[in-house]
Amino acid sequence: MTFKEYIQGRRKGKEANRIERQAMNDPFLNDAIEGFDSVEGDHVSALERLEGKVLRSQNHHRRVIVYWAMAASVLLLIGFGSLFLLQQKPETRLPEIATVLPKKVTPSAEEQKSAVPESISRTTTSSKSKTLAVASPPVSPETITNKAQAESIPEPAMTPVQSEVSAASPVRMSRMLEGKVAGLQLESAELPINRLQGKVVDEKGEPLIGASVKVKGTNVGAVTDTNGYFQLPQNVSDSAKLIAGYLGYENKEVNIADKPVSIQLQPDQKTLSEVVVVGSVPQKKKNVVGSIVKIASGEFGEKEFLEYCKNVGAKNLCGELKTKVKVSFNISKEGFSVNVTIKKTTCMAASREAERLLSSSPVWSKKNRKVTLTIEW
């Protein structure tokens, strides 16, 4: 019986028992059976569907190529499309930069603007004075057109410098319209046009993506986009300072007043030193190969040394005999044992071990003296 037949519901007899017993040893099979048993449904036809898909999959190669070709052509289209868009961008970008300026016109310009009807405020984003005239009719035909003309609107074709003026003019106009417009929806104070925009670039003028820009002394800040541009989420005063930073570059402070805000960062010359991570794990005594001797803090004298020998000294070196060595030595001014002489010993191995113990022991606390000792371990 195959596993598939088992799934189908033929679950009787020795063969079924064989599969079930096999499942006890085989987590894969066991999980699968549990799965089939726990979920109701037509599992057999699902299996056939899946098998068909997998076994037919070698044809996918050719189909995949077709899909790739389709994807590529779509990409091309998007590419050309965005090229056109990009070419138009400079034109549309100018007024945006210009809109940063209107604040200079009057300190209360912001309040004024909140009173600007939607249709007019929208025209502030356009540098073409023509649209001003077009947009105004729904408001109040006569007064506005008159006053708009009185404002001496610049020529339709404008240079970037002139756009500063034109961007400012709607604001002034709105002041005159104040109180005279009724029944129109008011734009909220959240006009994006007044938020500070700028760009962060590296030493070569390449845009820095994800650089942080912060208004000094506040927690107002922004992060640059894929083209290096940022826009602050709030309006900030002209006297504020911006701090831009990027990993591996030195932070830089600039005045907001220097427009357009373009911040060039220099690479940080200080290189980071490597970081060494040290981990420690407590060890169980039984897992440690070798010996661990706990030294009473501070003192190490004759008594401690005898204890040390008992703990560390190799046992049964001289067969039946006790390992006993009489030794004399000097303790240097650094606390090490020097000039070791073995006076008496039970066997050669014991004297070698005694020398080893002396040379490996902790530093003696009382220095500059002569010691004669009988060690036993």
Q: Is 35 in the site for other proteins (CB under 8 A)?
A: yes
CB 66, min distance to other proteins, A: 16
Q: Is 34 in the site for other proteins (CB under 8 A)?
A: yes
Give 222: exposed, middle or buried? Use CB within 10 Å, 0-12, 13-18, 19+.
Answer: buried
Q: Is 58 in the site for other proteins (CB under 8 A)?
A: yes
Q: Which residues contact 70 (CB under 8 A, 6 or more apart)?
A: none
CB 68, min distance to other proteins, A: 16
Q: Is 49 in the site for other proteins (CB under 8 A)?
A: yes
Q: Is 46 in the site for other proteins (CB under 8 A)?
A: yes
Q: What three-state secondary structure class fits 160?
A: helix
Region of 26-34, 81-89, 237-245, 328-336 interacting with other proteins (CB under 8 A): 26-34
Distances, alpha carbon 12 to alpha carbons 5, 6, 17, 26, 37, in Å: 11, 9, 7, 20, 15
CB 65, min distance to other proteins, A: 14
Nearest to 148 by CA among 165, 173, 126, 167: 173
Q: Which is nearer to other proteins, 22 or 255 (CB)?
A: 22
Query: Pairing relation of β-strands 252-255 and 197-201?
Result: unpaired
CB 27, min distance to other proteins, A: 7
The conformation of residue 287, written as its DSSP 8-state character, comes to G
CB 23, min distance to other proteins, A: 9
Rounded CA-CA distance 350/376 in Å is 10
Q: Which is nearer to other proteins, 40 or 91 (CB)?
A: 40
Nearest to 112 by CA among 195, 20, 26, 176: 176
Q: Is 13 in the site for other proteins (CB under 8 A)?
A: yes
Region of 48-56, 113-121, 187-195, 356-364 interacting with other proteins (CB under 8 A): 48-56
Q: What three-state secondary structure class fits 104?
A: helix
CB 67, min distance to other proteins, A: 14
Q: Is 55 in the site for other proteins (CB under 8 A)?
A: yes
Sketch the per residue contact string, 197 through 216, with other proteins: x for CB under 8 A, - otherwise.
--------------------
Q: What three-state secondary structure class fits 266?
A: coil
Q: Is 41 in the site for other proteins (CB under 8 A)?
A: yes
Q: Which residues pair with 341 in a beta bridge?
A: 328
Q: Is 54 in the site for other proteins (CB under 8 A)?
A: yes
Q: Is 63 in the site for other proteins (CB under 8 A)?
A: no
Q: Is 61 in the site for other proteins (CB under 8 A)?
A: yes
Q: State the DSSP string of 19-67.
A: HHHHHHH-HHHHHHHHHHHHS-S-HHHHHHHHHHHHHGGGGHHHHHHHH
Q: Which is nearer to other proteins, 25 or 219 (CB)?
A: 25
| Element of type H or E holding 213 | strand 212-215
Q: Is 50 in the site for other proteins (CB under 8 A)?
A: yes
Q: Is 24 in the site for other proteins (CB under 8 A)?
A: yes
- Residue appearing with tokens 């017993």: 21
Q: Is 336 in the site for other proteins (CB under 8 A)?
A: no
Give the total of residues touching other proteins (CB under 8 A): 44
Region of 35-43, 92-100, 104-112, 342-350 interacting with other proteins (CB under 8 A): 35-43
Rounded CA-CA distance 198/214 in Å is 12
List contacts with other proteins (CB under 8 A).
3-4, 7, 11-21, 24-25, 27-36, 38-39, 41, 43, 46-47, 49-58, 60-61
